[in-house]
Amino acid sequence: MITLTIAIFLMGVIVVGLLNKYPKTAGIIAFFVSLIPFFALLSWSSVMNITLPSYLQFLNFETSWQYNLGPGTLILQITPLGWFFLLLLSSLFPMVILFSISYFRSNAGGFYAAMLLTMLGSFGILLAQDMLTFYIFWEIMSWSILALVIRGGDRKAIVSYLSFGALSAMLILFGFMLLYFKTGTFVFAEMHLDASNLVLAAITLIVSGFAVKGALMPMHVWAPHVYSKSEEPFVAFLSGGLSKLGYFGIMLFMYGVVGFSLLSSWGTFRGVPLFGYSLAVVGAFTAFAGTVLAVMQDDLRKLLAYSSIGQLGYIAIGLGIGTPLALTGALFQALNHTFFKAVLFLAAGAVYYRTGKYKISELGGLGYKMPFTFLASLFAIFALAAIPITSGFAAKWLLYEAAIEKKFLFVTPIMLIAGVGAFLYVYKILYGVFLGEPRYNVKEAPLSQLVPMWILVLPLIIFLIFPGWFVDLTAPILQGYEMTAIPHTPYTINTSLAKYNTLAVIFAFIGTLIFAFILYLSKPQEKVDHMDNYLAGEPPELYDYISMHASSKYYEPFEEVFYPYFKRGAERMWEIILAAGEVFGSGARKIYTGIVGDYSIYILLFFLIMVGWWLLW
């Protein structure tokens, strides 16, 4: 069945590519093709020992498959980890395609073709069982993203994406070659690694290669450009789904291939492998710096990009610590991030679709005219800011517990501060875009854009009430790495340090809300529009030509304090490296002077050197 899926995907790419003139039909075809991975997911749910309801039994995708290809053979097989990330991607991808059907007005054929290719690439990555397949599908995914970035048409985004993509691909390739040199085989199962420095070097290279895709701090430079200069639906899929593949790779290689025991053989710090600890520190720094940079942005897409980098830092921390609690936390954060980031980017797309503006200072008061978009993004924002009434809190709570359990004294405060920093840029979006003075009378986003947003909000609600289900969901993954799942019931998670009971929080909150509502009903109230506002007594007619929206340069004092520290940033470092390359380049080009005489002298010189070398040697 997997060959059928790949074949249908490829045909889908070609058909949709040709249907450039009629975006609607191309979109619908792409939507049906995009449902296939979801059905594959359902049929493989036995891997996660979830028994399917009877009417879904007819799906029988085979679980593993091989394809002989000259020297190497491609081995694809479903594993619990692969299943989990496929759940994220395959539930997000159809929604993004559904959103983009009404989003695009023209030449969307190329968009759907490239998106289907990206999904094909990630489908292959999740099932790959050997390094050759992994690398092939990794590259297919990264260059199909390149095609989409080129559609965005921004120079800095294309150049930075392709150079970082090549850097990450080559890092991974070099790491694979080291492992191949060490073990002589490509297949993960047959690789028996020992604690030699070569394997350590290989793993560092591979993890740093994946860190580029997961936008960890020093290698994140490409992300803001690409996120802010490409089309919205693609960015929602990229930041929601594809950035998780970087972390899927890290988890696969750190815990699947190398294994926790081997990792800790290279020295441990308080029971946590040093390798993992350094990843956690990088993750913490990314979370903090990402949040601070996000607060300072005015462009909505750039802000969401940096916030995405910040939230992904949390996953790196979880993977770094490596205890069952931390891994569950990391996976939960990955799930949450997929959905709430996708909803936010789709909301940004809907706002752009209606107002054609991105700058927060130019937007304002859309919450009144676009209530459903506002509500969906409000819930996503609650999840992002980890407010206890959403599943976002459970994920971050697990990560905090894991960090405290391992007595991480310096990483945890940074994590918490990054969490609080999230409130700042979260409110900037809420106030700058949705609340404040209504400045645009636009209609609500079309239904076909609202439905995907609301469907993507559902998982956040399900796991809000029953975080225990999520722990069951990831138990098989942990069993794969000889770790036992953390003790839990459907609605409470208790760790060695404390307990978190979601039902208690929810019922208490409902109770207090009722109490507040009774207070609120004490007296009637009359609705008054924003013109009747206290502006030191100025008469209303002044308001129509002065804007009361205070969202431009919103966190200026914050910038005054933090800008000196973040002025240089990583971007300049990479520019220096590129400049150095260019210096060599110009040196090399000088050799080709363009004068025939020089070239013939070169030949003579070469001849003399050869003869001289022969005489001396």
Partner 1 sequence: MNHENWSKLARIMSKRSLWMIHFCTGCGAMEMPPVMTSRYDMERFGMHAMATPRQADVFLVTGYLAVKTLKRVVQVYEQMRDPKYVIGFGSCTINGGMYWDSYNTIKDLSKYIPVDVYIAGCMPRPEAIMDSFLKLFDMIDKGEAIGWQKYHKYYDQYKRNQRMAFSYRLDEVKDIKEDDKE
Partner 2 sequence: MVSIPPVLLIAFPLFFAFLAPLINMVSKKAVKPYTLFVLLLNTLFASIIFLNVSSGGVIYEQLSGFYPPIGILLSVGYLGAILALLINLLSPIVYISYFGDAKNSVKFSMLYMLVTASSTGIVITGDLFNMFVFFEITAVGSYGLVASMRTKKAFEGAFKYIVLGSVGSAFILLGIATIYGYLKTLNFYDIALRISSMPPTARLMAFIFLIIGIGVEAEIFPLNGWVPDAYEGSSHRVASFLSLGPSKAGIYAIARLLFTLIPIMGGFELALLLGLLTLIIGELAALKQKEIKRMLAYSSIGQMGLILVAFSMDSRMAFVAAIFLMISHAMAKSLLFLGTRNYTVGSLKNPFVSVPIFIGVLSIIGMPPFPGFWGKWYLMVDMASQGFWTIILLVILAAIVEAVYYARFLFKGTGTEKSEGISKSEMTAIVILALLLVLVGLFPQYIYAPAVNAASSFLGGGP
Partner 3 sequence: MVNYIDLTIQILVAIGVTALGFAIGMLFNGIARKITARIQNRVGPPIYQGYIDVLKLFTKKTNISHGWIFDLAALFSVAGIALAFLFLPVAGVSLLSGEGDLFLILYLLAIPALGFALGAGASGNPNAAVGIMRALMTMLAYELPLVMVIIAMMVYYDTTSLAVIVQKQANMHWAIFIPVFFIGALVADMALQGMLMEKPFDIPIAPHEIATGPMVEFGGKHLGALMLYKMMGIVVETTLFVDLFLGGGVILSVSQFGWLAYVVNFIVWFLLILFVFFIALLINAVFPRFRIEQALKFYWKYDALVGLLILIWIFVGVTP
Check residue 340 for interaction with partner 3 (CB under 8 A).
no
Give 132 or 415: the residue with its C-beta nearer to partner 2.
132
- String of DSSP letters for 394-435: HHHHHHHHHHHHTT-TTHHHHHHHHHHHHHHHHHHHIIIIIS
Dihedral sign computed on CA atoms, order 436, 442, 445, 447: positive
Check residue 356 for interaction with partner 2 (CB under 8 A).
no
Question: Where in 266-305 is the site for partner 3 (CB under 8 A)?
Answer: 269-270
Give the C-alpha separation, 600 to 605, whole Å: 9
Of residues 63, 82, 65, 83, the one with CA closest to residue 73: 65
Check residue 524 for interaction with partner 1 (CB under 8 A).
no
Question: Where in 83-142 is the site for partner 2 (CB under 8 A)?
Answer: 109-110, 132, 135-137, 139-140
Check residue 592 for interaction with partner 2 (CB under 8 A).
yes
Q: Closest distance between partner 2 and the C-beta of residue 137, in Å? A: 8
- Site map (CB under 8 A) of partner 2, residues 146-175, x = contact: -x--xx-x-x--xx-xxx-xxx--x--xx-
124-144 in b/e burial notation, b at 16+ Cβ within 10 A?
A: bbbbbbbbbbbbbbbbbbbbb
Q: Closest distance between partner 2 and the C-beta of residue 138, in Å? A: 8
Q: What is the 3-state secondary structure (H, E, C) of 437-479?
A: CCCCCCCCCCHHHHHHHHHHHHHHHHHHHCHHHHHHHHHHHHH
Identify the residue among 190, 194, 538, 575 touching partner 1 (CB under 8 A): 538
Q: Which amino acid is at 39?
A: F
Check residue 520 for interaction with partner 3 (CB under 8 A).
yes
Check residue 35 for interaction with partner 2 (CB under 8 A).
no
Q: What is the 3-state secondary structure (H, E, C) of 50-77?
A: CCCCHHHCCCCCCCEEEEEECCEEEEEE
Q: Closest distance between partner 3 and the C-beta of residue 230, in Å? A: 29
Question: Where in 550-579 is the site for partner 2 (CB under 8 A)?
Answer: 578
Establish how many alpha carbons lie within 13 A of residue 281's alpha carbon, considering only the half-sphere containing its beta carbon.
9
Q: What is the dihedral of CA 148, 149, 152, 156, to 10 degrees?
A: -170
In whole angstroms, how large is the CA radius of gyration of the chain? Answer: 26
Distance of CA 567 to the CA centre of its chain: 25
**How many of the chain's residues bind partner 2 (CB under 8 A)?**
60
352 binds, among partner 2, partner 1, partner 3, none (CB under 5 to 8 A by kind): none
Other beta carbons within 10 angstroms of residue 479's beta carbon come to 13
Check residue 371 for interaction with partner 1 (CB under 8 A).
no
Give 183 or 495: the residue with its C-beta nearer to partner 2.
183
Are 171 and 180 a contacting pair, CB within 8 Å? no
**How many of the chain's residues bind partner 1 (CB under 8 A)?**
7
614 binds, among partner 2, partner 1, partner 3, none (CB under 5 to 8 A by kind): partner 2
Give 519 or 591: the residue with its C-beta nearer to partner 3.
519
Check residue 430 for interaction with partner 3 (CB under 8 A).
yes
227 binds, among partner 1, partner 2, partner 3, none (CB under 5 to 8 A by kind): none
Of residues 340, 379, 342, 359, the one with CA closest to residue 433: 359
516 binds, among partner 1, partner 3, partner 2, none (CB under 5 to 8 A by kind): partner 3
Identify the residue among 70, 71, 524, 537 touching partner 1 (CB under 8 A): 537
Q: What is the dihedral of CA 267, 135, 114, 38, to 10 degrees?
A: -70
Give the C-alpha separation, 213 to 138, whole Å: 10
Q: Closest distance between partner 3 and the C-beta of residue 420, in Å? A: 5
Q: Which amino acid is at 491?
A: Y
Q: Closest distance between partner 2 and the C-beta of residue 69, in Å? A: 6
**How many of the chain's residues bind partner 3 (CB under 8 A)?**
78
- Going from the C-alpha of 409 to that of each of 196, 269, 592, the distances in angstroms are 30, 12, 58
Q: Closest distance between partner 3 and the C-beta of residue 535, in Å? A: 8
Q: Closest distance between partner 2 and the C-beta of residue 139, in Å? A: 4
Are 248 and 125 a contacting pair, CB within 8 Å? yes
- Going from the C-alpha of 350 to that of each of 30, 76, 160, 203, 442, the distances in angstroms are 20, 38, 27, 41, 11
Angle formed at CA 465 by CA 450 and CA 248, multiple of 5 degrees: 75
Question: Where in 384-413 is the site for partner 3 (CB under 8 A)?
Answer: 385-389, 393, 396-397, 400-401, 404, 407, 409-410, 412-413
Applying CB under 8 A, the residues found at the interface with partner 1 are 532, 534, 536-540
Contacting positions for partner 2 (CB under 8 A): 17, 20, 68-71, 109-110, 132, 135-137, 139-140, 143, 147, 150-151, 153, 155, 158-159, 161-163, 165-167, 170, 173-174, 177-178, 180-181, 578, 581-582, 584-589, 591-592, 594, 596, 598-600, 602-603, 605-607, 610-611, 614, 617
